[in-house]
């Protein structure tokens, strides 16, 4: 990422201030990676408190994860009880992801990922239908001991709005940059603090500054000069015409006098 040294200092200061501001973070871990997957899919589009409530409703409403997998989209939307468009996106992603899990392992479980290396486990997650980078990173961080910092859209907006990362950096660049600043041991704490703070903060709106490019200025100047030159030429032409008319009038007067 561009200007990483400059942003590195800013992120360090942010992390220290967040640790002072908020209570100590209790690390979350999942024995079953599929539980992490479900939580992440819901959590990406909903706030933490709402996510916890939604996951609890799933446990109360559905007999098991297999029933959740085969449930109708409308049924899951009803259980989520949030804005319909958001709930529908979550429901579709959930059923697609759980369908991918079942299709690969013939069960709604990802415990097999704990028996392979982190890299192949990450690849399996990435290949699942509809699974985002956030979901992959959250699963790696909370259930597969990976070094990752999951980023929601709100977290990215906050980082850019506060000029803590380069404005042109994408999610992958930002996540890679943050993992170089924060150790694997502290990654969950940083994620939780940053997420909480970004959800409570109002994203700064950048003021639109009207700027005129050098090219535009040159074009305007050229047009102005052209108009002025044209105006001068017209004025000069008028004067010449006027002068010619006056001279012609004088000649006509003189001719008349001679005839008399």
pLDDT tens-digit map of 7-30? 999 999 999 999 999 999 999 999
Give the domain CATH number at 138.
1.10.340.30
Upper half-sphere CA count for residue 192 (Cβ side, 13 Å): 17
Question: Are 15 and 112 contained in the same domain?
Answer: yes
Work out whether the CA dihedral 239, 245, 248, 249 comes out positive or negative: negative
Same domain, 113 and 234: no
Q: Count structural domains, the chain.
A: 2
pLDDT in tens, 37-63: 999 999 999 998 899 999 999 999 999
Domain shared by 166 and 226, yes or no: no
Task: Report residue 217 CA to chain centroid gap.
Answer: 33
> What is the average pLDDT score of the chain?
85
Answer whether residue 206 shows pLDDT above 50. no
Band of pLDDT at residue 102, cut at 50, 70 and 90: very high
What is the Cα–Cα distance from 173 to 75, expressed in whole angstroms? Answer: 37
Domain-located, residue 85: yes
Mean pLDDT calculated for residue range 95-108: 95
Q: Do both 94 and 40 map to the same domain? A: yes
Task: Tell me the mean pLDDT in the region 75-96.
Answer: 94
Is 234 in the same domain as 150? no
* 75 inside domain: yes
Q: Is residue 179 part of a domain?
A: yes
One domain for residues 129 and 249: no
Same domain, 121 and 79: yes
Q: Which domain does 67 fall in, by range?
A: 4-200
- Cα–Cα dist 19/16, whole Å: 5
């Amino acid at each position: 990422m561009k200007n990483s040294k400059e942003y590195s200092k800013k992120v360090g200061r942010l992390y220290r201030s967040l640790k002072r501001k908020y209570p100590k973070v209790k690390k979350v871990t999942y024995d079953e990676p599929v539980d992490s997957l479900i939580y992440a899919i819901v959590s990406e589009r909903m706030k933490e408190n709402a996510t916890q409530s939604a996951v609890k409703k799933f446990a109360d409403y559905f007999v098991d994860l297999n029933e959740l997998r085969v449930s109708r989209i409308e049924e899951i939307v009803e259980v989520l009880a949030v804005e319909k468009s958001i709930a529908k996106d979550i429901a579709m992603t959930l059923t697609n992801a759980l369908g991918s899990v079942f299709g690969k392992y013939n069960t709604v479980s990802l415990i097999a990922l704990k028996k392979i290396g982190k890299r192949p486990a990450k690849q399996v997650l990435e290949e699942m239908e509809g699974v985002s980078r956030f979901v992959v990173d959250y699963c790696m961080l909370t259930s597969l001991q990976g070094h990752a910092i999951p980023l929601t859209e709100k977290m990215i907006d906050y980082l850019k709005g506060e000029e803590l990362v380069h404005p042109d950096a994408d999610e992958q660049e930002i996540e890679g940059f943050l993992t170089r600043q924060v150790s694997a041991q502290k990654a969950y704490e940083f994620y939780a603090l940053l997420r909480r703070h970004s959800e409570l903060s109002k994203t700064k709106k950048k003021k639109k500054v009207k700027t005129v490019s050098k090219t535009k200025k040159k074009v305007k100047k050229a047009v102005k000069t052209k108009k002025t030159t044209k105006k001068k030429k017209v004025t000069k032409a008028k004067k010449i015409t006027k002068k010619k008319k006056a001279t012609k009038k004088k000649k006509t007067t003189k001719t008349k006098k001679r005839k008399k």
